Structure 1
Amino acid sequence: MNFPEALAHGDIKEVFKDVFMVTGTMRNEFFGSIWQFSRNMVIVREEGRLTLINSVRLNDAGLAKLDELGTVANIVRIGDMHGLDDRFYLDRYASRNGSTDSVNFWALPDMGVDENSTSAPPVNKLLSIDGEMPLSNCSLFVFETTKRPEAILRLDRDGGIMIACDALQNWVEPDEFFDAATIEKMREIGFFTPAGVGPAWIQGNEPQPGDFERLSKMSFKHVLCGHGEPLLETAQADFKNTFQRLFGIAS
């Protein structure tokens, strides 16, 4: 099977104990033109088993580093607008482990195929608020008003770590994975905003304030987003201010 190629990416970095993040490249056509920008994959290790969230295909050297961390056991899609590299990881690690059911693929009900994918990976674990989780001490926030499924994972450690996809972003400035034309377009739209809510995600999903009122009541200190830098220590207060500004939610 042909998979999307591995594009430029950085090193896998440990943000918290056994919680890692790697930043890579997304390049595709959006709104009638080619865009190139960065995206993040989060890796969580538990007892030698790895869970990949917001998958980003790594090159051979990156895959070797990933394998040094542990054995890939879970692929988790929490945003409907991501998922380009899910099938690559499912195929690679099912083949390496010798069994198609040795790697679980988690997604929300009704989560569709990313527009850049040729076929949908088989989902064998559905994410739900009261259901089984891919990680221990983990809970799920699900947006209820969006047009496309989206969720956030909360790890109950280090004061609360939220792992988001497109809804919560922390693009402060463009990084080395952008091209110049995309930087210009994204500056005009307002993507580069600390503790932001993705402008394209808002446009495509039309979320209502009630979702963010529920989200603002959750307790957390840190957010690892699908786009941008980790937001550490002050994440809850920073995002509450954003929700107030965009949706009128009381801080």
Structure 2
Amino acid sequence: MTQSTVSSFPPALAHGEIEEVFKDVFFVSGAMETRLMDLDWQFSRNMTIVRDGERLILINSVRLSDEGLATLEQLGKVTDVIRLGALHDRDDAFYLDRYQAQYWVMPGLEGAAGTTAKTLTPETDLPISDAALFQFSTTQIPEGILFLSREGGIAIACDALQNWLSPDEHFCDASRERMEGMGFFTPANVGPVWQQAAQPAADDFQRLKSFSFKHALCGHGEPLRDHAQTAFADTFSRLFNC
């Protein structure tokens, strides 16, 4: 990449360390800054990194600092970037350019980040050998969830499933106060803003209940270990009577 190319991408924001949360599955939390509803927002978001052999697959990408990129590159070679949700693509183009990676997107998101993408469907040969895909079928915007058949099942979600327990260091005070009032800080939650934008129907969550998983790594919030399926099933019952 040339310097002019590098500067054309959104800059790296503050983020934490890359943590190996399960064998060959890594998680890093960083800041997001955006403008929504004519207001400035700053909150946290997460990237999940799956290692498959020597390959690294980035899901819900978060641009890392130079130091963070050096750590990432010690883990393996970035070969694929997966975009599971319509609302998460700020840093995809940076990684696609830096590593000449293959882009994977949900139907309706082709052409995002100005590059050729492969479409993700439940029938697609996925770039992770032990993964399966759930596709929301009733939503107004595209969204999917990946399931890894390891560690008793790991769900990797974007905005639909969230596990924000409390604000962290990546929040500004104004965003924290607004999001507390909007019910964001709820364990095993369905994302409130995503729910408004996507308008999902109960049928999707009824289908989602058939997937078996113990853990969840979401685009927002903390890793949910050991009882994720039960916790989210309770949420689906409460919100969608399913």
- Deviation of the 1:46 alpha carbon: 1.2
Task: Tell me by how many angstroms 1:124 deviates.
Answer: 3.1
Contact 2:139 2:199 in 1 (8 A): yes
Q: Does 1:106 align with 2:99?
A: no
Asked if 1:46 is matched to 2:52, the reply is yes
Could you list the per-position Cα deviations for residues 70-128 of structure 1 after superposition, in whole angstroms to 9, with x for gaps in the alignment? 0000000000110110000000112xxxxxxxx21101121167xxxxx6232332111
Structure 1 gap segments, 5+ residues each: 95-102, 114-118
1:66 maps onto 2:72 in alignment: yes
Query: CA-atom RMSD, angstroms?
Result: 1.0
Question: What is the CA deviation profile of residues 168-218 of structure 1, one whole-angstrom value per residue up to 9, with x for unaligned ones?
Answer: 000000000001000000000000000000000000010000000000111
Q: How does 1:12-161 map to 2 (within 5 A)?
A: 12-94=18-100, 103-111=101-109, 120-161=113-154
Paired amino acid for 1:109: P
* 8 Å contact kept, 2:89–2:113: no
Structure 2 CA distance for aligned equivalents of residues 84 and 246 of structure 1: 29
Q: TM-score, normalised by structure 2?
A: 0.96
Residue 107 of structure 1 aligns with an amino acid whose one-letter code is V
Counterparts of 1:120 and 1:13, CA distance in 2:
27
Instruction: Summarize the alignment of residues 125-204 of structure 1 with structure 2, pairs less than 5 Å apart.
Output: 125-204=118-197
Count of residues paired in the alignment: 236
2:236 counterpart letter in structure 1: F
What stretches of structure 1 move > 3 A for 4+ residues in a row?
none
Matching of residue 224 in structure 1 with residue 224 in structure 2: no
Q: What residue number does 1:242 align with?
A: 235
The question of whether the paired residues in 2 share the 8 Å contact of 1:9 and 1:22 is answered with yes
The answer (yes or no) to whether the contact 1:18–1:44 under 8 Å persists in 2 is: yes
Q: Distance in 1 between matches of 2:75 and 2:231?
A: 32
SS at match of 1:154: strand
Query: What percent identity do the matched residue pairs reach?
Result: 55
Unaligned stretches of 5+ residues in structure 2:
none
Return the letter of the residue paired with 1:39.
Answer: R
The farther-off stretch of 78-87 and 103-112 is 103-112
Amino acid at match of 1:76: I
Greater Cα shift, 120-129 or 187-196:
120-129
What is the alpha-carbon distance in structure 1 between the residues aligned to residue 175 and residue 152 of structure 2? Answer: 35
